A and B are shown apart, each in its own frame.
Chain A
Amino acid sequence: MKITCLYVDRDVLDFPAVSAICARLDMPFQIVSDPKEVYDPVTRSESPVDAGKTSLWLTRNKGKFVRPCPGTDYYTCCNYTILHIGTFCTMDCSYCILQSYFHPPVLQYFVNFEEMDKALDEVFASHQVKRIGTGEFTDSLIWETIYPYAATLISKFAKQSSAILELKTKTVNIDHLLGLTHHRKTILSWSLNTEKVIKENERKTSSLNARLAAAARCVAAGYPVAFHFDPMVIYPGCENDYRDVISRMFAAVSPEHIVWISMGTFRFMPALKPVIEKRFDASAIVYGEFIKGMDGKMRYFKPLRIRFYRAIIAHIRSIAPDVTVYFCMEDGEVWQQSFGFVPEEKGGLPAMLDNSAVRHCGLTD
């Protein structure tokens, strides 16, 4: 999506990243002293989500760069750590929670990298195993074409051995990362979905083949990789379609290079439904058999989820019996009925994933 409005906070004007990004975008920008100058035009526009996707605001992260993932109490969370590099996304996925998460949604890119650097140093100094990712509030690699900062992060993580960096993306912006020294402390990961879901719900993203080819190139460059099937959409024929994607995934990347595979069926806050209906009228994604879950989000009827997960897990296990597979935000009953065990039997979900990171990425602390 093309950036049509560029805003720069007055107090970051002289930051090196700002001049580099402005030069790269080569477009006029508006200096702002008050966030309202950015938010108001987006809020007033006919479609704030669309307006937000073309408005880039270079600003300072005034909160914490490193923060825990906001899980909920009832469902099992993996205790992921977020590195908060920016907000929103230039790609356009129907199911994206960010459409209704920010009020209004705006592309923010945080340029106070020195503070991010300090925050990471504090994390590394704790010498605790951490799984840290930048892909929670944005895509990890969307800004690489205008400001390739991932390389700096990869190099920084390469110099320590207690934490891994996960770069989660639907892009294939990885060419400039292949020759870097990474010491396997960065995991490149892709969100995968069926061709049908991608076609109907993921605008401006890379094709499935392109994502898998990019993953294969990263593996060839020595990176560990991961895959996220989230959201998985239940529709007639979905099991076969997901089996097909899984087979293609393992054909592109053999299981021993995969640190983890996550799965999560589609869930959404009720407020997202009208947004999707309005913006994605060709998508039937919100018309599944949903109930209100224990966290207030709409989820597929539990017996449906379990039935679906069982089929998919069976297929994964038939190809890769030992690869780490986990659920994002499911309860013990779903774990037990789908996997045949609950995470607590293996020390808990965070420990399961930490152990996999230790094994694949050579964490030592």
Chain B
Amino acid sequence: MKNALPAAHPSPASVFFKTIALSRVDVTDTTYQISTPTPAEGLMASIREVGLLSPPLLRVAGSDKFIIISGFKRISACRDLGLDAIDARIAGEGVSDLDCCRMAIADNAGNRALNAVEQSAAVLKLSAFFGDDRTLSLEARKAGLDVNPELVKKLKKLTTLHAEMMAPIASGALPLTIALELGSLDRNPALAFLNLFETLKPTLNHQKEMLTLSREISAAGRIPIIQVIGGVTADIMMDESLDRPQKIQKIRNNLQRLRYPEMMRFEKQFQERLMRLNLPEGIRLLPPANFEGTRFTLSLTFQDISQFKACTDILNPLVHHPDFKKILDKDVEDNLFIR
């Protein structure tokens, strides 16, 4: 047949519709569960008004029982509504474990975007059948879950994370990359960061920066990381005069000062010297990036000859200004204390 779809796999004959008593569904068996718990009120209201439009997919388990392949939330809603029986799609005994797993993923992924915890659950279920990340990625894609091998690798690691992280990951409040970083920490520091991020809601880049700086301060000074982040944030978090962005900025600044003490001190001294030059708004003196190169940049903003002359009147005496010389020399003697 020219326009026929390829035969479904498993064959349609092995999946059939049936009305079954809800009491025969074993809701404790989560073999194929992918979805994370979400409030069911909306779904219950919908079923109450228009009925169960999409029958759950169940699998025969023994002579008198069914387990859920897909539709955990629907079954739960129907039970809470006090229904006795529902229409369901039943995968017969001939359907393999792998096919049930694929159907669970396809049914979930086909209806909505899965969150990271659900993607992780899907990948883990498939990993019982396929070894390497590349094959897992291909098989997941066949079931409608678009995950590349790199993401597969990350998703597999999610299961090793502290339990408290799952809800914020699922809700999207905790980005996957940050979650995995936190997962490499002990439980207490991981939860301290989680609490900090949930409270202040810094951007992803700021979260990464705080974590990296804290980790490096800890490694460099052989100080427990919880001591680093605790020491930096304690007073700031208690300070009611600061709003959320101010707290984030202050924490970042303090971490920078701990991580790069000499650089921060040098930068501060540069700014102080610059202030003492008393340059007007139209004159800007810029040091080389990171003070590494040798060329300073001076920019003048003016609109006529008299303004230009005013600028040069200010610039000429700079030659004799001690702070100007120290700036150009990147004077180090009185700034640094490394011994």
Contacts and interface: CB of A to CB of B under 8 A. Distances in A.
A3 interface: no
Nearest to B220: A287
A291 B332 contact: no
B332 A234 contact: no
From B219, B291, B292, B329, name the one whose CB has the most chain A CB atoms within 10 angstroms: B292
A301 interface: yes
Counting chain B residues whose Cβ lies within 8 A of the other chain, the interface size class is: 20 to 34
Contacts of A308: 338
A294 B330 CA distance: 17
A239 B294 contact: no
Given A289-B262, A301-B291, A306 B332 contact: yes
Interface string B185-220: 000000000000000000000000000000011011
26 contacts: A236-B338, A240-B339, A284-B220, A284-B222, A287-B220, A289-B260, A289-B262, A291-B291, A291-B292, A292-B290, A293-B292, A294-B292, A301-B260, A301-B263, A301-B266, A302-B292, A302-B330, A304-B332, A304-B336, A306-B332, A307-B333, A307-B338, A331-B294, A332-B294, A333-B330, A337-B330
Nearest to B266: A303
A252 B53 CA distance: 89
A240 B338 CA distance: 11
Given A308-B338, A333-B294, A303 B330 contact: yes
A237 interface: yes
Interface in A324-362: 331-333, 337
A293 B220 CA distance: 21
Interface in A297-332: 299, 301-304, 306-308, 311, 331-332
B293 interface: yes
Contacts of B338: 234, 236, 238-239, 304, 307-308
Contacts of B336: 303-304, 307
B332 A303 contact: yes
A152 to B, nearest CB: 44
From A288, A292, A301, name the one whose CB has the most chain B CB atoms within 10 angstroms: A301
A299 B290 CA distance: 11
Interface residues of A, number: 27
B330 A301 contact: no
Contact of A284 (B219, B261, B290, B333): B219
A292 B293 CA distance: 11
Contacts of A332: 294
B220 A303 contact: no
Contacts of A299: 292
Nearest to A293: B292
B339 A237 contact: yes
Given A287-B216, A291-B292, A301 B339 contact: no
Contacts of B266: 301, 303
A289 B290 CA distance: 11
**6 nearest A-B pairs in the assembled complex, by CB-CB distance:** A287-B220, A291-B290, A303-B332, A307-B336, A307-B332, A287-B216
B335 interface: yes
Contacts of B217: 287
Given A240-B339, A304-B338, A291 B216 contact: no
A302 B293 CA distance: 9
Contacts of A293: 292
B25 to A, nearest CB: 44
A239 B339 CA distance: 5
A41 B39 CA distance: 50
Contacts of A302: 290-292, 330
Contacts of A333: 294, 330
A288 B330 CA distance: 20
Contacts of B290: 291-292, 301-302
A217 B330 CA distance: 44
Interface string A267-293: 000000000000000001001110111
B262 A304 contact: yes
A25 to B, nearest CB: 34
A287 B263 contact: no
Nearest to B333: A307
Contacts of A301: 260, 262-263, 266, 290-291
Nearest to A331: B294
Given A237-B339, A294-B293, 17 more contacts: A284-B219, A287-B216, A287-B220, A289-B263, A291-B263, A291-B291, A291-B292, A301-B290, A302-B292, A303-B335, A303-B336, A304-B263, A304-B338, A306-B330, A307-B338, A308-B338, A337-B332
